[in-house]
Amino acid sequence: MSIENTIRCILREKVLPSHKEKQLTERGMIYVAQGVNLDEALGGNKPKEIVFCPHQDDAEIGIGPYLAKYYHAKGFLFVYHTNGVGGLIRDAASRERALQLFGKEPNEIVPEELVQRRREQAEKAMEFFQVPAGIFLGYDSIKKGHAREREASIETVALLLNAIKPEKIFIPQPFDQHLTHRIATYICGCAAARASWDGEILGYSVWGPVPYDVPTQDEFFEEGYVDMMRAAIHLHKTEMVKNYGEAKACMMRMDAIATVNKPDALSERYLMRNMKLGHLKGMTRQGVRDSIASCIHDKKMANEFLENCDK
Ligand SMILES: [Zn+2]
């Protein structure tokens, strides 16, 4: 299947209003819109590495320093599964934040406003790292009750892998505490098993570290790259109550101490695909599912994950 068809299949709506798209194009950025040929949009340069993100801030949290170090050298494509509406500011404790960010009371913010805001924040982060293309699949959820969206996501990821044949893809690692992240791991795993593609798969961390007893690829970073990660994460202002930047920097220091015993180093550890995720190639969905479920030590959480994969 051609890339053009692929993109037609997968984009649910135009990514940006045309005037904004034009502005961004003039600044050297291209967002792929519905019906646009991805090859043309990328100027014939196919992305070498794809980052699959359940939410709008996962690329920056998951591989922020890697993006800071390599954005000049590699072509990235970001693919966002959900539209981020799940993070809607609802509680009274978020009042100050809602007033500050939206100029409204929490209960007055409609979902569309948050979706729009989260997309804009993602666009700013892409601009920050000069990421040439992003695909927003725009699903409200990929969890239980959204089987259609989940299936479409699997289809999309498989089509992208076949059409682009990236050297490497980044997906959430299966030990993540966030259910949506693990569903995204499952989606990408099923797609990788189905696609005729055999590139490298690395699992990145957002909600929790990769355990120390599994094979990883370690990458070391200078402070400056970590500062860039912090700056990029801070572009996601709607999420900033969670202080991910500091949490991630601490995790990187911890990883460096634990793996190479260097207190001043900063490392990011990515789970390598060929162990806990199996080899994936030709694996059944059940195999991918069981492999991910086996990474979840809490029985209740494991059952929740399996249930979510079923319906
Ligand atoms: Zn996330």
Average pLDDT, the chain: 84
* Ligand 1 midpoint to CA 206 (Å): 7
pLDDT at residue number 22: 54
CATH of the domain at 216: 3.40.50.10320
* Ligand 1 midpoint to CA 46 (Å): 26
Strands 168-172 and 216-221: unpaired
Phi then psi for residue 93, to 5 deg, are: -65, -20
* Ligand 1 midpoint to CA 2 (Å): 30
> How sure is the predictor about 263, in pLDDT bands with cuts at 50, 70 and 90?
confident
As a whole number of Å, the CA-based R_g of the chain is 19
Specify the DSSP class assigned to residue 68: H
pLDDT at residue number 1: 39
Cβ atoms < 10 Å from Cβ of 17:
10
DSSP string, 2-53: -HHHHHHHH--S-SS-HHHHHHHHHTT-----TT--HHHHTTT---SEEEEE
* Ligand 1 midpoint to CA 245 (Å): 13
> How sure is the predictor about 9, in pLDDT bands with cuts at 50, 70 and 90?
very low
Structural domain tally of the chain? 1
- Its domain, for residue 202, covers 3-310
* Ligand 1 midpoint to CA 278 (Å): 23
pLDDT at residue number 306: 96
> How sure is the predictor about 160, in pLDDT bands with cuts at 50, 70 and 90?
confident
Q: Dump pLDDT digits (tens) for 47-82.
A: 899 999 999 999 999 999 999 999 988 889 999 999
Phi then psi for residue 249, to 5 deg, are: -60, -40
* Ligand 1 midpoint to CA 60 (Å): 10
Return the amino acid letter for 6. T
Cβ atoms < 10 Å from Cβ of 46:
17
pLDDT at residue number 14: 43
The CA distance from 8 to 38, in Å, is 10
pLDDT at residue number 271: 93
* Ligand 1 midpoint to CA 102 (Å): 21
* Ligand 1 midpoint to CA 58 (Å): 5
The CA distance from 254 to 261, in Å, is 9
